Structures are given as structure tokens and as C-alpha cells.
Amino acid sequence: MKLSTRSSLQLQISKYWVLGLFLVTPFTLAQGPAVPACGIANLYSSVEIDSRLFEKGSYRVHAFGMGCDEVMGSSGLFEQFMDLSDSQPLPSPWISLSDAIGAPKFSAAAGVGFRVERLSDLSYSELERECFFEWAEGYAAKLLRSDSSHPTMMYRSFEYRYYNVSNSYLAFDNDNSNINPASDVRVIYVDMTNSSDLVDVGSIADWLVTSNCR
């Protein structure tokens, strides 16, 4: 989701969140290259897949000719490939396109596969992010109210929690180019009841210090 202005990002948020983030499976996509990307996958340690080294960090994942739900998540193909030992080959019919230009690509057939693009070092641990969510839910309890469990979810470049009573979201935007290409990972708040506007409340680095999560 390569966007340069707040208004264009709000349009995308309205398109993806307002029109049914919880009404349809988030990763229901048409065939062909996924634009925007399927989402962000974090590698917490370096791994070797089919003799190619993937250093720990955050990776943007694009699917082509297949649904993102087949690639992303704990049971997705990328996770399965990461779990292979260094000497294990990819499961048939998958191959690594070692001669492909650009980001590493994996293919099962002509026009079917996915590619992964390394974005950055993994600067913020999952524990720190979860710590911030828990802190924010107490600090801003009136804005983040829920009467049921609210697990951390992924959608596109957003890592978020949804609060059903306040009808609001708190999220990390891992693809910081959505707002400012030079900025850090951003903390986002969305009030779906009153405006559904995207509110950038600051950088994750600042909030981790404020919340004593780092």
C-alpha cells in the first residue's frame, strides 16, 4: 500500500476496514499479484530456505496466482518453509526462483507463487508490542472498550486489536510509507463510530518508552 497522503490512506482504510474487515476473511483476494501486499511476516531469527539465507527482520509478502490466506499465518506456506531444516528441500511442486530479479520468489507453477521483500531489521519485539497494547487498554480505557477477547490480528501492513464496545481499533502500521516514508512504525487509532478517520498518534518508539514497555 504505497500511499503518500493522509487522505489517500483514509480512503484505503475505509475500503478495507469499513467495508468489511470483520465481515469477510481478511485475506480473500483475486488471482494475480496482490496489491497491496498480503501483509508483514516477522522473522525472529535468521533461517535458510532452499540454500538461501533470510536474515531476521520484517518482510512484506506478495502472492500471485493464489490467495494470501494460503501464504500467510501460522499454517501458511511461508511459515512452513521457515520451519524446514537447512538441508530439507521445498515440498513438491514448490521451487525457489534463485535467478529471479528482485525479491526472493517461490513458485509452484507458472504464474503461481509468492515473493518476500525484506523491509527492515526487526526492531520491536512481539513482547514489546503486546505490552503496549495491554498498557494502552488501561491508559485509554474509554476509547478501547471490549466485552470479549480481542487478540492481536494482522491485516495488510497493520497489526491491530479491535474493541467491539467502543467500535474502535488500535494498530501498528508496519509499512510506515503509508504515512511518512521517513518515519518509524506508527501507532494508529481508528474510531469507527464517529468518523472512521485514521489518527496517527505517534511513533512506536516513543510510546514504548512512555508505556515502560522498553
- Give per-residue pLDDT as tens, 84-102: 887 789 999 999 987 766 6
- Return d(Cα 211, Cα 132) in angstroms, integer: 6
pLDDT, position 197 = 83
Q: Which of 54, 56, 66 is nearest to 29 (CA)?
A: 66
What pLDDT was estimated at residue 67? 92
Q: Look up residue 52 and give its three cell numbers.
A: 538461501
> Is 90 exceeded by the pLDDT of residue 135?
yes
Residue 81 φ then ψ, to 5°: -65, -40
**Whether pLDDT at 141 is above 90:** yes
pLDDT: which is higher, 71 or 3: 71
Tell me the C-alpha distance between 71 and 193, whole Å. 33
Dihedral sign, CA of 31, 154, 151, 57?
A: positive
Amino acid making up residue 165 = V
CA distance 202 to 191: 16
Q: What percent of the chain has pLDDT over 90?
A: 30
CA dist 119 and 65 (Å) reads: 23
Rounded to the nearest 5 degrees, what angle is found at the Cα of 157, between the Cα atoms of 205 and 16? 130
Question: Distance between CA 96 and CA 82 in Å, rounded?
Answer: 13
Asked if 28 contacts 16 with a C-beta cutoff of 8 angstroms, the reply is no
Q: Above pLDDT 70, what percent of the chain? A: 74
> pLDDT tens digits, residue range 143-180?
999 988 778 888 877 889 999 999 999 999 877 544 44
Phi-psi map region of 118: left, alpha, beta (phi>0 left; psi -120 to 50 alpha):
beta
